[in-house]
Amino acid sequence: MYTINLSLTEEDYLDYYIHYYKDSGSLWKMRITLSIAIFYFSIFFVKTTETFGIARKLFLATILTVSLIYFLPVLFYNQNKRQTKELLKQDKNGNLMSAKIITIDQSGIKSTSEHAQTQYDWDLIIKVRIVREVIYLYISPNQAIILPIRFFENIKDEIINLIKDKVEDIQKI
């Protein structure tokens, strides 16, 4: 049995949501959809001004599209940061940011805080992603238990091995 004392930060939640969007493919879908829309809008917009030749129209549309593809992650990050802060403000009882004791053993994962206690059997964990120094244990397609490794560096390998024994879909990203 392993016991971890942790307190998640706003940055931990922000990293999770960014990882979630990257892992789910939503960011790429958004990039492609918006890029196509901006490209066609650019051609239409430039088409209405007759002083441009076709080469200039395509050039301008391409520049706008490439700019969008390049800057979209920055815009996305800033929007995601604002939304995460709003989500954390709405946590009236403070359960998201409160100190938790996480117990990991052969039967599953138990999270205990001042306000709640939750038990997750291993068969409820649908996938695991290890990203840089964080382990995300997904309990649904869009919800995960966040375990920053900084809280258990001395037993990191043992915990990762236990998780590998219990969960099939595990990826180190």
pLDDT per residue of the chain (173 residues) written in tens, 0 to 9: 999 999 888 888 888 877 777 776 666 677 777 777 777 776 676 655 556 667 777 777 778 777 777 777 777 777 877 887 887 788 766 667 778 999 999 999 999 988 789 999 999 999 999 988 999 999 988 889 999 999 999 999 999 999 999 998 877 76
pLDDT score for 101: 93
pLDDT score for 135: 94
Q: What is the dihedral of CA 148, 151, 155, 156, to 10 degrees?
A: 20
pLDDT score for 45: 66
Q: Where in the chain is the domain with CATH 2.30.29.30?
A: 2-8+97-172
pTM of the model: 0.72
- 171 forms beta bridges with 129
- 136 forms beta bridges with 129, 146
User: Cα separations (Å) of 154 from 4, 85, 112?
Assistant: 11, 31, 21
pLDDT score for 17: 77
Reduce the DSSP state of residue 112 to 3 states and report it.
strand
pLDDT score for 50: 58
pLDDT score for 165: 92
Q: Among candidates 46, 65, 66, which has minimal Cα distance to 56?
A: 46
d(CA 3, CA 150): 14
- 104 forms beta bridges with 2, 109
pLDDT score for 35: 73
Q: Domain 2-8+97-172 belongs to what architecture?
A: Roll (2.30)
